[in-house]
């Protein structure tokens, strides 16, 4: 059975990694959200975003038979 090429959607999984890897992008206090500094809510926002991205990539996989 020949190996198929991975879907380009797999590259979506790099977004959370890159978004959190460069700390200089979010290492500040302003703007705050509900009293939380940007540093904290930016990182916390990646939790549901990453879940949605993983779901999209999972749904793009072919079904096993």
Q: Where in the chain are the domains?
A: 8-60
pTM, 2 dp:
0.77
Alpha helices in the chain (DSSP H): 14-21, 38-60
Of the candidates 64, 58, 45, 50, the one whose C-alpha atom is nearest the C-alpha of residue 10 is 58
The one-digit pLDDT tens for each residue of the chain (65 residues) are: 556 676 778 888 999 999 999 888 888 888 988 898 999 999 999 999 999 999 999 888 877 64
């Amino acid at each position: 059975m020949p190996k198929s090429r991975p879907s380009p959607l797999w590259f979506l999984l790099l977004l959370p990694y890159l978004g959190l890897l460069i700390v200089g992008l979010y290492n500040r206090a302003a703007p705050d959200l509900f009293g939380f500094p940007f540093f904290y809510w930016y990182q916390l926002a990646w939790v549901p975003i990453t879940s949605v991205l993983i779901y999209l990539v999972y749904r793009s996989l072919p079904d096993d038979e």
